[in-house]
Every structure is written in structure tokens, then in C-alpha cells.
Amino acid sequence: MDLSLAKREIHEALLLHLEITNQGQIVRETGQDRKAAQIHLVGLSGTGYATSPEKGSYMITENGKSALGFPETTK
């Protein structure tokens, strides 16, 4: 996985949320600029590492977890 430090911080912040989170929460947790965070979140969604089930809300995907080194979980 070849991500910038800023994008990796956002990716890791998404991992800490078990449910859907909004862009504002990610900005507060990472301390990044709102516009930059939005661009990174859209980029993570485009690569399949995150998904946006609702406008302005995001969550990490199984691919995103795997990219950070977490194994896929099953029942």
C-alpha cells in the first residue's frame, strides 16, 4: 500500500470506528484541513479502502482493513 502520511492517518482513523462516521469526526481526530480530508476520503473510497453509504459519511471496507494489515474476519 502506497499512501501519503495524511491519507494513512485518515485510513487508520476510519479503522477505529466500528460504525459509519462523518467527515467532521475524522477531521477532529486527525487535525487535518477539512478540504484535504475530503480529498483523501474520496481517494480512499475510489481505491475501495473506504465506502460512503451516505453523503458525508464514511466507513472502512474489508479491503481497507486488509491494506492496513488486519486479517479478514469471518463468523
> What pTM value is reported for the model?
0.82
CATH classification of the domain holding 46: 1.10.10.10
Closest to 14 (Cα-Cα) out of 47, 75, 74:
47
Q: Look at residue 59 and tell me if it is in a domain.
A: yes
Domain count, the chain: 1
Segment 49-65, tens digit of pLDDT: 999 999 889 999 999 98
In a domain, 60, yes or no: yes
Tell me, what's the pLDDT at 2? 64
3-class state of residue 75 by DSSP: coil
- Identify whether 75 is part of a domain: no
Structural domain contains residue 73: no
Task: Render 16-35 in DSSP notation, one character per residue.
Answer: T-SS-EEHHHHHHHH---HH
First to last CA, the chain: 27
Is residue 33 in a domain? yes
For residues 62 and 72, the answer to whether their CB atoms sit within 8 Å is yes
Domain holding 52, by residue range, is 5-67
- Asked if residue 72 is part of any domain, the answer here is no
Write out pLDDT tens, residues 17-45: 878 999 999 999 999 999 999 999 999 99
